[in-house]
Amino acid sequence: MAISLKINGENYSVDAEPDTPLLWAIRDHVEMTGTKFGCGIASCGACTVHLNGEAVRSCVMQIGSIGDQEITTIEGLDSREVKAIQAAWDELAVVQCGYCQSGQIMSATALLKKNPTPNDADIDTALSGNICRCATYTRIRNAVKYASHTISVKEI
Ligand code: FES
Ligand code: FES
């Protein structure tokens, strides 16, 4: 059946069953492949997208439950938070293999949007569901703080 999804500001009609995971709709139907499959059971964070600005695991979200809520993928991020995050990721050379990183960035940008000046505990809590097999956690935490500082300085 046809299910409407609003992804990155565009409307898509996806021909799939209502219990299809959002991740499959994004990757296989809409063909945006920046969102990754890791575990399929909401345990790794590789599939993180935003639903109305909240970081959610798309591998366990059924497309029939979404309605007209706004879905944002890594391809659609466009905000001062993501620009600061991208610059910080570059500056601190965060990425190793890269597989987890779109999920990490989705969680980090959702955090900075809600809390522009997170402390270590805030960062660890917000990103605790994002696993990195390359163990880039320290660089990620430093980069989130770097991005937070960049945003604060620009606001002065
Ligand atoms: S693939 Fe969704 S949390 Fe791992
Ligand atoms: S950078 Fe390799 S899994 Fe995170």
pLDDT in tens, the chain (156 residues): 899 999 999 999 999 999 999 999 999 999 999 999 999 999 999 999 999 999 999 999 999 999 999 999 999 999 999 999 999 999 999 999 999 999 999 999 999 999 999 999 999 999 999 999 999 999 999 999 999 999 888 665
Torsion of CA 151, 153, 154, 155, to 10 degrees: 90
Cα(155) to ligand 1 centroid in Å equals 35
Q: Domain segments of the chain: what residues?
A: 2-76, 80-155
| Overall CATH class of domain 80-155 | mainly alpha
CA-closest residue to ligand 2 atom 4: 132
Q: Which ligand is located closest to the Cα atom of residue 41?
A: 1
Give yes or no on whether 2-76 and 80-155 have one common fold. Answer: no
The CATH number of 2-76 is 3.10.20.30
Q: CA 114, 116, 118, 122: dihedral to nearest 10 degrees?
A: 10
Q: Is 118 in the pocket of ligand 1 (CB under 6 A)?
A: no
